[in-house]
Amino acid sequence: MTVPVVHSLRDQIREHIVEGIVSGRWKPGERIVERRIATELEVSQTPVREALRELESLRLIESAPNKGVRVRNLTAADLEESYPVRAGLEQIAAELAAERLAADCSALEPHVTALYEADRHADGTAQVRHTVAFHRELVKAAGNGVLLHTWEGLGIEVFTALSIRWLGTVQKSYAEEHQDLVEAFRRRDPEIGALVKAHVLGCAPRA
């Protein structure tokens, strides 16, 4: 049974805006009007402002005096910047989680199964969702709250989606690489940290 995840109002608004950017509703350089979003979602402007501030910290949008908030014109180089940081964090996570995942990979396996299905149907949305979910479970398995908070602060889901949808860096197969990582955990590969790091760096868009 899947336990429903309860999101704060700010998180829901943030997801709404992110989906709008990723889907192309708001294009690079286009203005995002705070009042319009508040009216559309039937909420006050305060949580909308909070959500926009959070997205600005992720460098997804930018604000300027008398010009409002606009979607940043992100390049491959911009998107690529977060990957070495993410790779380092996931290397640490893999090393911390190695024993736990060697004994039980059940948190990772459903996402590999889902990725095989997504690959089969060339479903980019599902590929993004389950790729990110796989890596989130890997980081969670490290059992380090600071590490997880830092990883989530990189906006992994947003940048993964933008890398694929804006730059066309979609792979033919996501499942096989992730299956290889599961098998490496199971066999207690002493190089698991390096394997995970190389995997993440291999997914980075190229400027």
Give the chain's domains with CATH numbers: 9-71 (1.10.10.10), 76-202 (1.20.120.530)
Lookup: tokens for 80: 């690529």
Which residue is listed with tokens 């590490």? Answer: 147
CA distance linking residue 41 with residue 72, whole number of Å: 23
pLDDT values of the chain reduced to their tens digit, one per residue, 207 residues: 333 334 588 888 988 898 888 777 888 889 999 999 999 999 999 999 999 998 998 888 999 888 889 998 877 788 788 889 999 999 999 999 999 999 999 999 999 999 999 999 988 878 888 998 999 999 999 999 999 989 988 888 777 777 766 655 555 678 999 999 999 999 999 999 999 999 999 888 765
Q: Which amino acid is at 54?
A: E
What radius of gyration do the chain's Cα atoms show?
A: 18
Return the SS3 of 105.
coil
pTM: 0.77
Sign of the Cα torsion 67, 72, 73, 77 reads positive
Instruction: Write the DSSP string, 111-149.
Output: HHHHHHHHHHTT-HHHHHHHHHHHHHHHHHTT--HHHHH
Decide if 102 contacts 90 (C-beta within 8 A). Answer: no
